[in-house]
Amino acid sequence: MSDHNHEKLGFWRKYIFSTDHKVIGLQYGITGSFFLFFGFCLMMLMRWQLAYPGQPLPFVGNLLGESNMPMGYMLPEFYNALGAMHGTIMVFLAIVPLIFGAFGNYIVPLQIGAPDMAFPKLNAISYWCYLLGGVVMVASFWAPGGAANSGWTSYAPLSVTATIGQTYWLFGMVLLITSSLLGSVNFITTVVQLRAEGMTWFRLPFFVWAQLVTAFLLLLAFPPLEAAGVLQLMDRLAGTSFFMPSGLVVGGEALGISGGGSPLLWQHLFWFLAHPEVYVLILPALGIVTEIIANNTRKPLYGYKIMIYSILFLGFLSFIVWAHHMYLTGMGTTVSTFFQTTTLIISIPSVVIITTLFITLWGGSIRFNTPMLFALGFLPMFGIGGLTGLPLAFNATDIPLHDTYYVIGHFHYVVAPGTIFALFAGVYYWFPKITGRHMSEVLGKTHFWASILFMNGIFMPMFIQGMAGVSRRLYDGGATYELAQGVLHWNEFMSISAWLLALAQIPFLINLFWSPFKGKKANDNPWEATTLEWSTPTPPPHGNFLEAPKVYRGPYEYSVPGSSKDYSPQSQKEI
Partner 1 sequence: MEIPYTVKPRPDTGLINSKIGIWLFLASEVMLFGALFSSYIILRIGSESWPEGSSYLSVPIGTFNTLVLISSSITMVMAWASLKLKNFKKFQIYMGLTILLGLVFLGVKSFEYYGKFSHHHYPKESVFFAIYFTMTGLHALHVICGMVVNAYFWGPGSKMWQTNPEQFTNRVETSGLFWHFVDLVWIFLFPVLYLL
Where does this chain bind partner 1 (CB under 8 A)? Answer: 2-3, 6, 115-116, 118-120, 122, 181, 184-186, 188-189, 192-194, 219-224, 226-228, 230-231, 234, 238-242, 257-258, 260-262, 265, 268-269, 272, 542-543
CB of 103 to partner 1, least distance (A): 21
Residue 226 or 533: the one with the smaller Cβ distance to partner 1 is 226
> Residue 439's Cα: distance from chain center in Å?
23
Compute the distance between CA of residue 514 and CA of residue 454 in angstroms, rounded to an integer: 24
Residue 185 or 351: the one with the smaller Cβ distance to partner 1 is 185
Which residue type is seen at 168? Y
Residue 321 or 392: the one with the smaller Cβ distance to partner 1 is 321
CB of 189 to partner 1, least distance (A): 5
Taken in order 61, 66, 71, 73, the sign of the CA dihedral is negative
CB of 271 to partner 1, least distance (A): 12
Residue 123 or 419: the one with the smaller Cβ distance to partner 1 is 123
Q: At 254, phi and psi to the nearest 5?
A: -75, 135
Residue 213 or 353: the one with the smaller Cβ distance to partner 1 is 213
Residue 225 or 357: the one with the smaller Cβ distance to partner 1 is 225
> Residue 248's Cα: distance from chain center in Å?
37
CB of 466 to partner 1, least distance (A): 32
Taken in order 153, 156, 161, 166, the sign of the CA dihedral is positive
Q: At 301, phi and psi to the nearest 5?
A: -65, 130
CB of 187 to partner 1, least distance (A): 10
CB of 117 to partner 1, least distance (A): 8
Compute the distance between CA of residue 44 and CA of residue 500 in angstroms, rounded to an integer: 10
Residue 222 or 459: the one with the smaller Cβ distance to partner 1 is 222
Rounded to whole angstroms, what are the CA distances from 489 to 74, 461, 479, 481, 484? Answer: 20, 10, 10, 13, 9
Asked if residue 162 lies in contact with residue 148, where contact means CB atoms within 8 angstroms, the answer is yes
CB of 19 to partner 1, least distance (A): 10
Please name which of 4, 31, 156 lies closest in space to residue 94, comparing C-alpha atoms. 31
Rounded to whole angstroms, what are the CA distances from 282 to 1, 40, 302, 372? Answer: 42, 19, 20, 18
Compute the distance between CA of residue 556 and CA of residue 558 in angstroms, rounded to an integer: 6
Compute the distance between CA of residue 311 and CA of residue 303 in angstroms, rounded to an integer: 12
Residue 239 or 539: the one with the smaller Cβ distance to partner 1 is 239
CB of 277 to partner 1, least distance (A): 14
CB of 246 to partner 1, least distance (A): 8
Residue 147 or 228: the one with the smaller Cβ distance to partner 1 is 228
Rounded to whole angstroms, what are the CA distances from 176 to 49, 172, 270, 500? Answer: 30, 6, 15, 32
Alpha helices for 298-404 (secondary structure H): 304-317, 333-361, 370-387, 390-393, 395-401
